[in-house]
Copies of this chain bind each other. A is one copy, B any other.
Amino acid sequence: MKGKIILEEAFNLPRLAEDEAKKYASVHGAVLLGKALADIDGRIAAMDEAGIEMQVLSLTSPGCQGVSDPVEAHKMAVESNNYVAEKVRANPSRFAAFAAVSMHDPKQAAHELSRAVIELGCVGVILNDFQSSGPDGNVMLFYDNPSYDTFWATVEELDVPVYIHPRLATTTIFDQLYRDRKWLHASAWGFANQLSVHILGIATSGVFDRFPGVQLVFGHMGEHIPFDLWRLDHKLDRDRFPEMRMAKNKTIRDYFATNLHITTSGNFSTRSLQGAIAELSSSRIMFSIDYPYEDGLMEGSTWFDALPLSQPDLVAIGRENALRLLKLDRPPHNMKSGLTLKELEIGGLGDVGRSIGSAFDSPP
């Protein structure tokens, strides 16, 4: 399929990428990853090959959320936003960007988000799970705290989506759980374990009731949430926890009809996607890769292009949902909605091959 849009795609400031690559130099793939993160312009050829028209860039995790010093975190946000905005300006038909913000101070976050959207043209914002805070960096700030209402109010006013992304807990709090099974701590399992609590914290704190226009996006086929919605809603004990501020008569599933969206980043599972469509509908799901943490753009694109999905669902998930949510039809991106199957290069005989077997089917 041509014309695909992807939206969980990381870059790093060149100076940071170099540092990281050095720090992790002994780890398989680290140098390669560091280079891939720092290179934005070089991505276009691979996008062409993979049928990807638009890539929404975001500062790689943990970004500002990993910086426990409030001043440094904000500096990184401003630097990153200015940097990526320039990259987008150079190629607005191929790149868009999510803003980075320090979440130490909700007002400052709201202000930098406004600047990034209004002045720099960012189409949304990415938050890498909790904000590291405190002198040793081991305090976790969660955005379901009432103090963040000012941030959510600005999000609603700007009418841009928030992409919430996992990060590693550098604190020691999970030591007992993961110490002897480190391989489960990060992207294989623990990332979703942690981030899902944050996402559900935001939902159950009533953010979407107070700010019904807020649109929250998360990747990896939903961070474990879509497939356990029934039990989650069934077990949320509204009587025992009067301090749970979510509307008493609503369910998490309800918010998936109005405020929540997922992407396929890093989870190229046909069955999981089919299950997610059944749980959430194709209207709440968007294709994404998680570049460069997935090996190039081709594995995910090849998977997507061959999916046993209806053509309307391919178009919705591969392009139209993101185009609409991120308003990519507006300048400077000017993407087109409503392309034909032919323009998107889907459908046709390619899907079904040809059978030679009808030779004796009926008399000539």
Contact = CB atoms under 8 A, between A and B. Distances in A.
Chain A interface category by residue count: 35 or more
A26 B240 CA distance: 10
A5 to B, nearest CB: 18
A234 B188 CA distance: 8
Contact of A356 (B28, B142, B251): B28
Interface in A249-292: 249-251, 253-254, 256-258, 266-272, 274-275, 277-284, 290, 292
Nearest to A142: B180
A230 B269 contact: yes
A267 B353 CA distance: 12
A150 interface: no
Given A275-B278, A299-B353, A200 B228 contact: no
Interface centre among A228, A232, A279 (most CB of B within 10 A): A228
Interface string A293-334: 111000100000000111111011000000000000000000
Contacts of A174: 173
Interface in A224-261: 224, 226-241, 244, 249-251, 253-254, 256-258
Contacts of A221: 227-228, 231
Interface of A: 20, 24, 26-30, 32-33, 60, 139-140, 142, 144-145, 168, 170-171, 173-178, 180-190, 192-194, 196-197, 200-201, 204-205, 220-221, 224, 226-241, 244, 249-251, 253-254, 256-258, 266-272, 274-275, 277-284, 290, 292-295, 299, 308-313, 315-316, 341, 347-349, 351-364
Contacts of A360: 20, 24, 27, 30, 33, 60
A151 B228 CA distance: 32
19 contacts: A27-B359, A27-B360, A29-B356, A180-B201, A181-B205, A182-B241, A182-B362, A187-B355, A188-B232, A224-B224, A233-B351, A234-B266, A234-B267, A234-B352, A240-B359, A253-B310, A270-B308, A271-B308, A281-B282
